[in-house]
Amino acid sequence: MNIVVGVTGGIAAYKAVNVIRGLVLAGHDVHVIPTEAALRFVGRPTLEAISRNPVHSDLYEGVAEVRHVAIGQAADLIVIAPATANTLAKLAHGLADDLLTNSVLASTAPVVVAPAMHTEMWQNPATVANIALLRERGITIVGPAVGQLTGSDSGPGRMSEPDDIVAAALAVVGPRDLAGKRILVTAGGTREALDPVRFIGNRSSGRQGVAIALAAAARGADVTLIAANLEVQAPASLAVQHVSSTLELEAAARAAAANADVVIMAAAIADYRPETVADEKIKKEKQGDTLQLTLVKNPDILHGLAHSRPAGQVVIGFAAETEPDRDALLAIGAAKAARKGVDFLVVNRVGWSEGFGAVGNAVMVLSGAGDIVSESAGSKAVVADAILDLLA
């Protein structure tokens, strides 16, 4: 999609960078229109680098190409984040004294705004009336949230988190082909405690699972996310349950899966855990030059869910493998899909510099019979939508 992101002059403008980045990583062509005030908070080079497109802000540039109209006409979606009280007033009353407001007036695309201002400004009768008028006209309002504002102030008026704005914006224009479906997604990596300080874990960041959860919600699904030690912020727009160990994740997943139409197990699960956990920090002075650990096998959560599922439930598993040869990787995936009893298995190659923690991903999706039914590469948001396409 061709998405226009308007950035207006509030301190929350710095968070707009992650809104832009999220839309770009989702595979969209993003064009940023900052107001002159916004450029006092975030520089043009930053916006151009993140959006990967030239940034225009002057109403009187590009007159020959009628830029003040053309940008809005070409847009499939307009997102304004942050939207100041001043900008909301302009939008409500059809004022157009800059390139951003001109572009909105010239567009028939859906408009999503994320207000950000001090509490008194948000609660002012003028702003309340402007928001009501914008909603009547079909403009989607995201937030604001309640929280820390500029200085020591706190209250309603804080701009919603970038991931929530991206999800809400894409939900406005995206397919609603998963509406009414209850989807359970697990994300992150489990950790097995050695003592109160140390643990055995893995390199999963949770980015792919979170991307799947956000994409499913944008397509209309009722999503539950079970998050194990994420390296990214859990989206506030989703129902999130935080866990740490494999046994905690198993208990949470079994409870949530009982009412789910789809289970997507994207979390990286520890295969083993320490047989005993020390109550105090293990001291090297007491252990000497070596430390011996006895590990016991964790339950196979994916296998258990697949073989005890209610009728009609779809179960999707993930297999992260270091095998470099494609044919050998496929053979490993096919054997695992059959052993686990899943409907689909998402196979991806991981290593020191790919897979876990990376911005992008490349996957092959196998059927339960081991056949390739889909392949996808790109941002984790792009991969998420490719996986969900199979469900739709």
Strand segments, DSSP code E, in 72-211 are 77-83, 111-115, 140-141, 145-148, 154-158, 182-188, 192-193, 199-200
The β-bridge partners of 360 are 379
Cα angle 259, 265, 267 (rounded to 5 degrees) comes to 130
Whether the Cβ atoms of residue 68 and residue 101 lie closer than 8 Å to each other? no
Catalytic residue among 102, 202, 298, 348: 202
Distance from C-alpha of 54 to C-alpha of 67, rounded to nearest angstrom: 13
Query: Is the separation of the CB atoms in 192 and 201 below 8 Å?
Result: yes
SS3 of residue 305 by DSSP: helix
202 carries an active-site annotation: yes
Q: Is 378 left (phi over 0), alpha (psi -120 to 50) or beta?
A: left
C-alpha pair distances (Å), 166 with each of 19, 70, 237:
6, 24, 11
Round to whole Å and give the CA distance between 195 and 193.
6
Tell the burial category of 94 from Cβ atoms under 10 Å away from its Cβ (0-12, 13-18, 19+): exposed
Single-letter amino acid code for the residue at 243: V
207-218 helix and 162-173 helix, angle to the nearest 10 degrees: 40
Half-sphere exposure of 214 (CA within 13 A, CB side): 30
Gap between the Cα atoms of 161 and 236, Å rounded: 8
Report the distance separating Cα 216 and Cα 239, nearest Å: 13
**Residues designated as active site:** 202
